[in-house]
Amino acid sequence: MWWSYQDVEEQKKRLQREIAKRKKRGDKFEVLPAPAGQKKLSTTFWGLAWCRNLESYQDYESRLPRGRSYLRQGKVYDLEIEPGKLSAVVAGSELYDTSIVIQPLPKKQWKQIVTSSAGQVGSMLDLLTGKLGDGLMKVLTDPDGGLFPKPKEIHFNCSCPDHADMCKHVSAVLYGVGVQLDTKPELLFTLRGVDQAELLSNASSAAITELSTSSGDLAGADLSAIFGIDLSAEMMPEPPVAKKTVKRATKKKVAAKKAAKKKPKEI
């Protein structure tokens, strides 16, 4: 089918009218910003690993490029990442509602990941920024036992008339997750229904045991300084209300650093 310039313009106008109508109805209609042109869609450890996982499955191969270009053109709106579920509206020739169910990570698999990570995750910041050892990265990104969903765990639905296995709208949304993980990597854990703190607490509690056996006494030790679990200033984009806490945390950190300079660590 050939599209004339007028057809394309007419379609754009129709979409804009529909978007305006839905906004009036109360829908947010926030576009998911994605790098255009040849720039990489994702640049961080988690975003890249998500996209690599998608691209490793032949089942998806043929539909992925179209989805990528849809995303780059700013056609994905209102992406929601919830436990076991993704949803978004994608603008094609019309607005299509897309929902993708992603099975939660099997408990047994998560337990194995937690066990394999014991003592290897230095801090939440390290985990979320992907500053991890090669061995642990392998565990987390393993196609069978890692954190990313396999095709059999992904079920999708789109309101478009395309009956292919995976339409370009679903593919655009799946890629959108990769882009979102660049700024909100914790959403991967949300999506898979697991608590990333378990990786950390496991590591921390192992370290605590080690520490208490060697020093015999932990009283008075600044655990947040030792384990670097105070993330508030660097990583977590908090709502405006939390700003004061972030400021205070930063001041506290500066004070702690000064204090640490003055006297040598007691451990």
Instruction: Determine, following the binding rule CB under 5 A, whether residue 64 of this chain makes contact with Zn ion.
Output: no
Q: What is the DSSP letter of 57?
A: -
Sign, CA torsion 199/113/142/59: negative
- Quote the least distance from Cβ 221 to Zn ion, whole Å: 55
Give the count of beta carbons closer than 10 Å to the beta carbon of residue 79: 22
| Residues constituting the chain | 267
Which CB sits closer to Zn ion, 54 or 128? Answer: 54
Which CB sits closer to Zn ion, 50 or 96? Answer: 96
Candidates 15-23, 28-36, 123-131, 161-169; binding stretch for Zn ion (CB under 5 A)? 161-169
Using CB under 5 A, which of 160, 166, 179, 203 touches Zn ion? 160
- Quote the least distance from Cβ 66 to Zn ion, whole Å: 10
Nearest Cα neighbor of 88 from 12, 24, 34, 158 is 158
Instruction: Determine, following the binding rule CB under 5 A, whether residue 169 of this chain makes contact with Zn ion.
Output: yes
Instruction: Determine, following the binding rule CB under 5 A, whether residue 71 of this chain makes contact with Zn ion.
Output: no
Classify burial at 221, counting beta carbons within 10 Å of its beta carbon; exposed 0-12, middle 13-18, buried 19 or more. Answer: middle
Structure tokens belonging to residue 23: 């906004």
Give the count of beta carbons closer than 10 Å to the beta carbon of residue 257: 11
| 267 within 8 A of 211, measured Cβ to Cβ | yes
- Quote the least distance from Cβ 160 to Zn ion, whole Å: 3
Beta strands in 12-149 (DSSP E): 76-82, 85-91, 95-102
Which CB sits closer to Zn ion, 62 or 209? Answer: 62
Which CB sits closer to Zn ion, 91 or 128? Answer: 91
Candidates 91-99, 139-147, 183-191, 210-218; binding stretch for Zn ion (CB under 5 A)? 91-99
Instruction: Determine, following the binding rule CB under 5 A, whether residue 167 of this chain makes contact with Zn ion.
Output: yes
- Quote the least distance from Cβ 75 to Zn ion, whole Å: 11
Instruction: Determine, following the binding rule CB under 5 A, whether residue 91 of this chain makes contact with Zn ion.
Output: no
Sheet strands side by side (includes 85-91): 76-82, 85-91, 95-102, 154-158
Contact residues toward Zn ion (CB under 5 A) are 96, 158, 160, 167, 169
